[in-house]
Amino acid sequence: MNKKIEIAVQRLNQVLPLKKKQEQCNSKIKTLHQHILSSFVTRGRILTKPEMSEYVDSIEDALKILSEKELVVLTDDGIPLGAYPFIMENRETKIQVNGFQINVMCALDALAVSFMYDVRTQINSHCRITGQAICIKQSGMHILNHSEADKICVCIDWSAIEKDVKCADSLCMEMFFVFDYKAAISWCNVEAKQREVFKIEDALEFSKQFFVPLTD
């Protein structure tokens, strides 16, 4: 892991310390969280509350804890909506896995799923700058359509972080794909202190280091 990725992982963990928060949960709630995550890959959706109740004594108490720690995102009505990297609402980036099409929070999150569950994925999105369609076929660190995807970058605008606003509704909205490295750098240079660009190979490692610990 190079220094840039190490710093980025630390920075994201300061904003959204998912693994730290997960480890603060008791074993039943941690197990529930991991089953919520895996359900997106095995069922193509988040677990329902009755399904969640198989793992904990009080589903409402468990969801309150998971929501407070931002391990699960709820609707205003308290309905489970997502858990990083997945979400049930429509987003600009989606993955295809195990025959399902699933929405993910952002570009970085999309790259994590193949690592987390040792599966092949196809990521479908678009370039935020040009609108050009983006397709990434992934198996872990391997981009299977490399000739089509080798110039794709992940861009992050760290200034999107907002106090008292969930990352799902702030920073995640500004973690996106750009089709061409030169275009990404031009975007970054407008606000270089707050913006960052990751070539696809670095973005893969970044996503792996941040998300895979959640499955342990």
DSSP of the chain, one letter per residue?
A: --HHHHHHHHHHHHH--HHHHHHTS-HHHHHHHHHHHHHHHHTSSPPPHHHHTTT-S-HHHHHHHHHHTTSSEE-TTS-EEEETTEESS--S-EEEETTEEEEESSHHHHHHHHHHHT-EEEEEEE-TTT--EEEEEEETTEETTHHHHTT-EEEEEGGG--TTS-GGGTGGGGEEEES-HHHHHHHHHTTTTTEEEEEHHHHHHHHHHHHGGGG-
In a domain? residue 5: no
Q: In which domain, by residue range, is 198 found?
A: 86-216
What average pLDDT does the segment 155-167 reach? 93
What per-residue confidence (pLDDT) applies to 19? 98
Kindly state whether residues 192 and 112 are assigned to the same domain: yes
Task: State the pLDDT confidence band at 192, using cuts at 50, 70 and 90.
Answer: confident
What average pLDDT does the segment 6-26 reach? 97
Q: In the predicted model, is pLDDT for residue 157 greater than 80?
A: yes
In a domain? residue 212: yes
Q: In the predicted model, is pLDDT for residue 97 greater than 90?
A: yes
pLDDT in tens, 136-155: 999 999 999 999 999 999 99
Count of domains forming the chain = 2
Kindly state whether residues 77 and 91 are assigned to the same domain: no
